[in-house]
Amino acid sequence: MDLSERVRQLSPSATLAITAKAGSMRAQGLDVISFGAGEPDFDTPGHIKEAGIRAIDSGFTKYTPVGGIDELKDAIIEKLRRDNGLRYERSQILVSCGGKHAFYNLAQALFDAGDEVIIPAPFWVSYPPIVELAGATPVIIETTEDEGFKISPERLKETITPRTKALILNSPCNPTGAAYQREELEALAGVVLEKGIYVISDEIYEKIVFDGFRFISISSLDREMRDRTMIVHGLSKTYSMTGWRIGFTAGPAELIKAMASIQSQSTSNPTSIAQKAAVVALDGPQDSVTEMVQAFQERRDLIMGQLAGIEGVSCFKPQGAFYVFPNFSAWFGRTYQGNRLTNSMELADYFLTSAHVAVVPGVSFGAEGYERISFATSAENIQRGLDRIREALSRLH
Ligand code: PLP
């Protein structure tokens, strides 16, 4: 078929092959342990589900304003005030069908062909393709474990060119769990303001932080930074609402209006029922979030302990999100039944085929040498899965 040039340029997800293979192995009845999940393994809290049911029962099942109902915009404004000390007006908020959709609309509204968008690696898999779909060019800054997987102001400065439009910042980060402290953000903000670029701050893992880490939005540093920052956020992770598809953007009114135009010609409003549930999620009790984060922290500690016992594997300790990103590169070059394992994709395939454990290869996140392991799964699965990984490595020659 004569498909569009746009879609032909789109690189297929490297993770799809692993996910599909894991699925078909499971269908054959094999006991596959999956560390691939990008969503909490907890149910959406009951009071949020009830709000959705109430919305259906009361007939709140029709179109809403494209950018979301005022009630939800107000709940988002209140959240940003309460948690981040930020003041926004309704005209500066757009509700979309998930954080991914928010970022997609933003890219469509902000980027032109020839624009460069700086993306620190390891990065969330969707940033480069969404930037490319808007015709712009992703410019990757690689970071390492030793740098805590964070970019420095110097690296940022030397990467900015006259074509640079924006920096994407994701703290806490998927896949590394690295999170920026206030002083680090201040240093980056200095470069951002000096060079006059924008920041897209993806704060979707804001609430999933460990050891008392204090999350700071770069937007909250000062007035100038607020005007240069677009916050991309969503309820998927915090409230275990991945299927409800509610995300939002907070930023300059002019941009929000442009994004709303794009949304009006594509999806229209996010689901009415989910919007009502989102109001209750943001305004209601937050105990379920605290409990979930506590469970994630315990699992992070468990998985870090298990990884420490595996020879030749180092792992950065995540400050947030629900993934670890261990470095397996010391094992590259080893062989299994005559096949040499040379990269993260081949190692992931080996773990799946020979140990029935699914992990996501680092290459998908722009970081060869690593594997992403999600701990959004039970302690028992973590224990069994890591045992299998250790055993599979011991079988390499
Ligand atoms: N940003 C990051 C860093 C993510 O990891 C994800 C989901 O995996 C999203 C945004 C988008 O999530 P959603 O579209 O469910 O809001």
Give yes or no for residue 34 CB within 6 A of ligand 1: no
Question: Cα angle vertex 211, ends 210, 216, to 5°?
Answer: 65
- Is ligand 1 within 6 A of the CB of residue 372? no
Res. 308 pLDDT band, cuts 50 70 90 = very high
Q: Which atom of ligand 1 is nearest to the CA of 247?
A: 16
Q: Is 374 in the pocket of ligand 1 (CB under 6 A)?
A: no
Arithmetic mean of pLDDT, 77-81:
98
Residue 242 Cα to ligand 1 midpoint, Å, equals: 9
Question: Residue 106's closest CA among 222, 252, 246, 293?
Answer: 252
**Which pLDDT score is estimated for 19?**
80
pLDDT at 66 over 80: yes
**Ligand 1 contact, 242 CB (< 6 A):** yes
Nearest CA to ligand 1 atom 5: 174
* Range 202-219 average pLDDT: 98
Q: Tell me how far apart the alpha carbons of residues 248 and 102 are, in angstroms, rounded to a whole number.
A: 6
Cα-to-centroid distance, 309 and ligand 1 (Å): 31
Q: Are 238 and 208 contacting, i.e. CB atoms less than 8 angstroms apart?
A: yes
By mean pLDDT, which of 33-42, 95-104, 240-249 is the weakest?
33-42
All domains of the chain in start order, with CATH: 5-43+288-394 (3.90.1150.10), 60-283 (3.40.640.10)
> CA–CA separation, 14 vs 200, rounded Å?
25
Beta carbon of 177 within 6 Å of any ligand 1 atom: no
- For residue 15, the model assigns a pLDDT of 67
Compute the mean pLDDT over every residue in the chain, rounded to the nearest whole number. 96
The string of pLDDT tens digits covering residues 269-284 is: 999 999 999 999 999 9
> How many Å lie between the centroid of ligand 1 and the Cα of residue 310?
30
Can you give the pTM of this predicted structure? 0.97
The three-state DSSP-derived secondary structure of 235-282 is CCCCCCCCCCCCEEEECCHHHHHHHHHHHHCCCCCCCHHHHHHHHHHH
Phi, psi dihedrals of residue 167, rounded to the nearest 5°: -115, 135
CA of 99 to the centre of ligand 1 (A): 5
Q: Ligand 1 centre and the CA of 208: distance in Å? A: 13
Q: In ligand 1, which atom is closest to the CA atom of 38?
A: 8
Which strand ranges, in their side-by-side order, compose the sheet holding 247-250?
93-96, 247-250, 229-234, 198-202, 164-170, 116-121, 137-142
> Where residue 349 falls among pLDDT bands split at 50, 70, 90?
very high
Cβ of residue 377 lying under 6 Å from some atom of ligand 1: no
Q: What is the DSSP string of 192-220?
A: HHHHT-EEEEE-TTTT-B-TT-----GGG
Ligand 1 mean position, distance from CA 299 (Å)? 21
Query: Could you tell me if the CB of 249 is within 6 A of ligand 1?
Result: no
CA of 173 to the centre of ligand 1 (A): 10
Residue 170 CB less than 6 A away from ligand 1: yes
**Mean pLDDT score, 140-163:** 97
Using a 6 Å cutoff on CB, does residue 354 contact ligand 1? no
Kindly report whether the peptide bond that precedes residue 40 is cis, defined as omega within 30 degrees of 0: no
What's residue 14's pLDDT?
65
Average pLDDT over residues 311-332: 97
Task: Tell which one of 237, 244, 249 to mutate to probe ligand 1, the residue whose CB is within 8 A of the most ligand atoms.
Answer: 237
